[in-house]
Structure 1
Amino acid sequence: MSEREGKAEGTTHFGYQQVPVDEKAQRVAQVFHSVADRYDVMNDLMSFGVHRLWKRYAINLAAVRKGERVLDLAGGTGDLAERFSRLVGPEGEVVLADINASMLEHGRERLIDAGVVGNLHFAQVNAEALPFSDNHFDLITIAFGLRNVTDKDAALRSMYRVLRPGGRLLVLEFSKPVLPGLGKVYDAYSFTALPLMGRMVTGDADSYRYLAESIRMHPDQQTLQEMMAAAGFERVNYYNLTGGIVAVHRGYKF
């Protein structure tokens, strides 16, 4: 098996459920179709606005320079892509990519309204089989999206292929709390408050119950570091944020 998540032959996890491998992408798509219009509002509510600080940290860690080519995978509503577009300048290129058409369209409309045009492109792609040429991008980011990918190992290999030598990958994702006692508080919040907020704001508690479950099924910091190394990335390191609730992993292609 390619992933280290204990799945049965021919199945994978969708939250805590075991589903056929070929059904997971469709189920994840339905989750994001359901919440796309209220996605940014819910992010602010769920994290008390702290998600903006997590993303700012990742952007600073990315150290984007003018003229670089950036691929923002699972880019959703485009908050990272918007910042990268300004950093790379007119001589650079940013591709906002997402597997979900609803999220991608929402991001496209928001960025066009914000006047972000010219060096920004949009692509509906599957991270497991990226439709880009080898050695093309200087930076790839995937923020809060890797846990939804069916075959994470295949996706990491695909990202490695399209990075140029010297390029880097940043994965910003929910992870495993490392502060004593934080895990119990976080679990209580995730499985009680998140579905309640989801029902009140979007009319959809199930999608936010899936969110809580998908976080628990995602590899921990050390395991993801090992997965990135197995895909070919070097100098892989991670940085815990908010006591390990979120972590940023960074690896290079040499």
Structure 2
Amino acid sequence: MTEQQSTTSPSNATDSQQTHFGFKQVDADKKASMVAGVFDSVAAKYDVMNDLMSMGIHRVWKRFTIDCSGVRSGQRVLDLAGGTGDLAAKFSRLVGDSGQVVLADINRSMLRVGRDKLRNQGIFGNIDYVQANAEALPFPDNYFDAITIAFGLRNVTDKDAALASMYRVLKPGGRLLVLEFSKPTQDWLSKVYDMYSFHVLPRMGELVANDAESYQYLAESIRMHPDQDTLKGMMDNAGFERTEYFNLTGGIVALHRGFKF
């Protein structure tokens, strides 16, 4: 079991480029450190808040992702932006002793929480921990059979670069699964979801995690993330084929899947 660090910043981020951090415009080369600050703050309460925010439904979304992954014994899996390791734990059992799971996250605090959680569950041997930037993955070409990124892509500064990096390290025949908050399919649900996101969620973050600001960012980052069809087009442009998406909980979350051939 190893832990590696690779946080290389993409060369195309310069002081003159702007990107969004929630609803704010910031220098592109500063976003990663700002996102890191958010997750440094929430890491210790991350699992508790996930259960509270989603009323436990995030477990159903993740189970569906696992079911759509097609992962089997002996394969290599990258759980990117893997956080506290919910998906990595499942994949570790699926790939078995002959397989490999890499839990990767750009944030060291989240990676440490995930590592400690999986070790406490008795998960050793076939799992490695790597601190890595999704835009410049430190892995060989054509290495993984499957890549998942759950609730992490919206925090990436250059999503096109990240998708290209994921495509590079996938084996031919491999598949990418992106589980992410998306756009509700019904107007009434959007209104209810907005009220919950901007009024209830920050208050919940303040009471439970003593951090309203980070959960305000969460709500804003979701609104700035590409919708279902836009993200599908971005995956197509990165080279993925047979791309599709599945709306979950009325489109509040969507699972995108694409293959490398």
TM-score under structure 1 length normalisation: 0.96
Q: Select which of 163, 168, 179 maps to 2:175.
A: 168
Tell me, in whole angstroms, the C-alpha distance in 2 between the residues paired with 1:180 and 1:187. 11
In the alignment, what sits opposite 2:146?
139
- Residues 60-71 of structure 1: matches in 2 within 5 Å? 60-71=67-78
Residue-by-residue CA offset, 1:114-155 (whole Å, 9 max, x unaligned): 110010000000000000000000000000000000000000
Post-superposition offset of 1:63: 1.5
In the alignment, what sits opposite 2:122?
115
In the alignment, what sits opposite 2:85?
78
Structure 1 stretches of at least 4 aligned residues deviating more than 6 Å after TM superposition: none
Asked if 1:202 is matched to 2:227, the reply is no
**Aligned partner letter, 1:40:** D
Tell me, in whole angstroms, the C-alpha distance in 1 between the residues paired with 2:259 and 2:126. 24
Post-superposition offset of 1:180: 3.5
Identity of aligned residues (%): 70
Tell me the matched-pair count: 247
Give SS of 2:197's match: helix
What is the CA RMSD across the aligned residues, in angstroms?
Answer: 0.9
In the alignment, what sits opposite 1:214?
221
- Residues 1-254 of structure 1: matches in 2 within 5 Å? 10-254=17-261
Structure 1 unaligned regions, length at least 5: 1-8
Give SS of 1:181's match: helix
TM-score under structure 2 length normalisation: 0.94
Give SS of 2:203's match: helix
Structure 2 unaligned regions, length at least 5: 1-15
Post-superposition offset of 1:242: 0.2
